[in-house]
Chain A
Amino acid sequence: MGMLSAFANPHRFLALSNWLAPLFYALGAVLIGWGLWQGLYIVPKDEYQGGDIMRVMFIHVPAAWLAMASYSAMAVASFTWFIWRHELADIAAKAIAPLGATWTALCLATGSVWGKPTWGTWWQWDDARMMSVLFLLFLFLGYMALRAAMDSRQKAARAGAILAMVGGLNVPLIKFSVDMFTSLHQDSSVITSEGPKMAAVYLWPLLMSGLGHSLLFGALVMTLMRAEIWTRRAARQRARLLAGA
């Protein structure tokens, strides 16, 4: 609890993110750049995975990882806000939603581009992972639409938190139900019980690209959170001024 409260202080967050966000932007850009350069120019193409088109993996896989991680992060932030009412947790959940939706859409788009030459289809309804990610996108959109429809910030926070928690509890069930369909996707080849099965020449650029996307995501979340904190402060200041006038 002590640690949670320490992170929940907006002043400390502003001070921390003031240097952490630029650092994340820079490191993220370097890692994504290196991953793309390796992926597009250096690594050999894999004919089994569709030839040159497999290079989209260096965006697709990080996007898929962020799609799932960002919904989990939003649900945890919502839970934290709902239980302890730390304003910063709500600000974080609000900031994560549009970014999570963006990376989820990126995952779907790059997946489509990869699927067309490899599997011969832009979209496959009975592919479990495609459907899971699509429903994740709907969960994000519903969350944003619900927040936008509420007439006060407090209500938006509460309604959003309830929905994010209900959605979070449903995600495993949704995942399990769509897994009942047969899947086109290969099994996981990065995280397995025997360690990574992927050749190291692909694995390193992929991991670095994944880390880079995560850092960029973190930096963007911090930027949106800072903007929201200042917006709320400005609103409070304005209310004070109007009350005094």
Chain B
Amino acid sequence: MSPAPILSAFRQALGEAWAGGAGALLPLGFFAGAAVLVPLGIGTEPGMLRAVGPGILWVSLALSSLVTLERIFQADVEDGALDLWLQTSAPVSAIAAAKTFAHWLTAGLPLALMSPVLALMFQAEAGTDLLSGALIYGLGGLAFFFWGGVGAALSATVRRGGLLIALIALPLYVPTAIFGSMAMSGAAGGDSAPLLLVASTLFSLALAPFAMAAALRLAAD
């Protein structure tokens, strides 16, 4: 096996994400837009915004991962790239993982890096550790992207698969969302929440690539 196909898929996915017009700004814009709608929808009382802020950021992160993922494998099915991958010696699971990771790098990580700004806008208290917050959003986002990738691979041949991806992936997002919001809110029993969050992210990294590979072999038939 040679790593060349994996690297080329990774580079191609990075290129795709950057070439899409506004590059990484597009998901950032979506993330910010979704988060900013909330105070308009529920009111601007600072105490309430402080309470719901971390949760809103999780929801926006989940939504923007779903929006980004909709077409990551569809194009490869349509232009034949998938058939070529299946003929290389590199495992499809590694190629799928590399692509998903590239999309997290361009659309997930920037959101995590931007989260301190939004947290401040949501009236985070002075002294909140915004940087470890960003780390937690980043790790949680990785799990979102990998589970979402399973949904995207399964619906790669489905026209207008976006809603389907959401329905498939949302139950799989649950542990990450729960551990993530517990870690952010410092709720009772929240001490172990960051560790559990990392564990559930590792679980997704271990399992999702094989599910994506099985789904992509199906899509190529």
Q: Which residues of A contact B (CB under 8 A)?
A: 131, 135, 138-139, 141-142, 145-146, 149-151, 154-155, 158-159, 162-163, 165-167, 169-170, 173-174, 176-178, 180-181
Task: Name the A residues within 8 Å of B175 (CB-CB).
Answer: 170, 173-174, 176-177
Residue pair B172, A177 in contact (C-beta under 8 Å): no
Task: Name the A residues within 8 Å of B196 (CB-CB).
Answer: 177, 180
Are A142 and B174 also in contact (CB < 8 A) when A151-B157, A162-B214, A169-B207 are? Answer: no
* Separation of A131 and B170 alpha carbons in the complex (Å): 13
Are A155 and B218 also in contact (CB < 8 A) when A146-B164, A177-B179, A180-B189 are? Answer: yes
Kindly provide the distance from the CB of B195 to the nearest chain A CB, expressed in whole angstroms. Answer: 12
Task: Indicate if B182 sits at the interface (CB-CB under 8 A).
Answer: yes
Q: Is the interface of B mostly helix, strand, loop or mixed?
A: helix
Among candidates B157, B158, B167, B189, residue contacting A138 with C-beta atoms closer than 8 Å: B167
* Separation of A155 and B220 alpha carbons in the complex (Å): 11
Residue pair A167, B161 in contact (C-beta under 8 Å): no
Task: Report which residue of A131, A142, A178 has the largest number of chain B beta carbons within 10 angstroms of its beta carbon.
Answer: A142
Q: Which residues of B contact A (CB under 8 A)?
A: 150, 154-155, 157-158, 161, 164, 167-168, 170-172, 174-175, 178-179, 182, 189, 193, 196, 200, 203, 207-208, 211, 214-215, 218, 221
Residue pair A138, B171 in contact (C-beta under 8 Å): yes
* Separation of A170 and B168 alpha carbons in the complex (Å): 12
Among candidates A155, A162, A180, residue contacting B211 with C-beta atoms closer than 8 Å: A162
Residue pair B154, A163 in contact (C-beta under 8 Å): yes
Residue pair B203, A142 in contact (C-beta under 8 Å): no
Residue pair B207, A166 in contact (C-beta under 8 Å): yes
Residue pair B170, A138 in contact (C-beta under 8 Å): yes
Are A162 and B182 also in contact (CB < 8 A) when A167-B171, A174-B175 are? Answer: no
Kindly provide the distance from the CB of B155 to the nearest chain A CB, expressed in whole angstroms. Answer: 7
- 7 further interface pairs, Cβ-Cβ under 8 Å (given A177-B175, A180-B178): A142-B167, A146-B155, A146-B168, A159-B154, A166-B207, A173-B203, A174-B174
Residue pair B158, A149 in contact (C-beta under 8 Å): yes
* Separation of A151 and B154 alpha carbons in the complex (Å): 13
The 8 A-B pairs at the shortest CB distance, nearest first, are namely A177-B175, A177-B178, A142-B168, A142-B167, A149-B158, A138-B171, A135-B171, A158-B218
Task: Name the A residues within 8 Å of B167 (CB-CB).
Answer: 138, 141-142, 145
Task: Name the B residues within 8 Å of A155 (CB-CB).
Answer: 157, 218, 221
18 A-B residue pairings within 8 Å (CB atoms) = A142-B164, A142-B171, A145-B164, A146-B154, A149-B161, A155-B157, A155-B218, A162-B215, A166-B150, A166-B207, A169-B207, A170-B172, A173-B175, A173-B200, A174-B171, A177-B175, A180-B178, A180-B182
Task: Name the A residues within 8 Å of B214 (CB-CB).
Answer: 158, 162
* Separation of A170 and B214 alpha carbons in the complex (Å): 17
Residue pair A150, B178 in contact (C-beta under 8 Å): no
* Separation of A232 and B161 alpha carbons in the complex (Å): 27
Task: Name the A residues within 8 Å of B200 (CB-CB).
Answer: 173, 177
Kindly provide the distance from the CB of B201 to the nearest chain A CB, expressed in whole angstroms. Answer: 11
Residue pair A167, B178 in contact (C-beta under 8 Å): no
* Separation of A181 and B172 alpha carbons in the complex (Å): 17
Kindly provide the distance from the CB of B48 to the nearest chain A CB, expressed in whole angstroms. Answer: 16
Kindly provide the distance from the CB of A186 to the nearest chain B CB, expressed in whole angstroms. Answer: 21
Task: Name the B residues within 8 Å of A154 (CB-CB).
Answer: 221
* Separation of A145 and B155 alpha carbons in the complex (Å): 10
* Separation of A80 and B174 alpha carbons in the complex (Å): 27
Are A170 and B171 also in contact (CB < 8 A) when A155-B218, A177-B200 are? Answer: yes
Kindly provide the distance from the CB of A82 to the nearest chain B CB, expressed in whole angstroms. Answer: 8
Q: Give the residue name and chain of the A residue nearest to B177 (CB).
A: A177
Q: Give the residue name and chain of the B residue nearest to A182 (CB).
A: B188
Q: Give the residue name and chain of the B residue nearest to A171 (CB).
A: B171
Q: Give the residue name and chain of the A residue nearest to B199 (CB).
A: A173
Task: Name the A residues within 8 Å of B150 (CB-CB).
Answer: 162-163, 166
* Separation of A86 and B170 alpha carbons in the complex (Å): 30
Q: Give the residue name and chain of the B residue nearest to A152 (CB).
A: B221
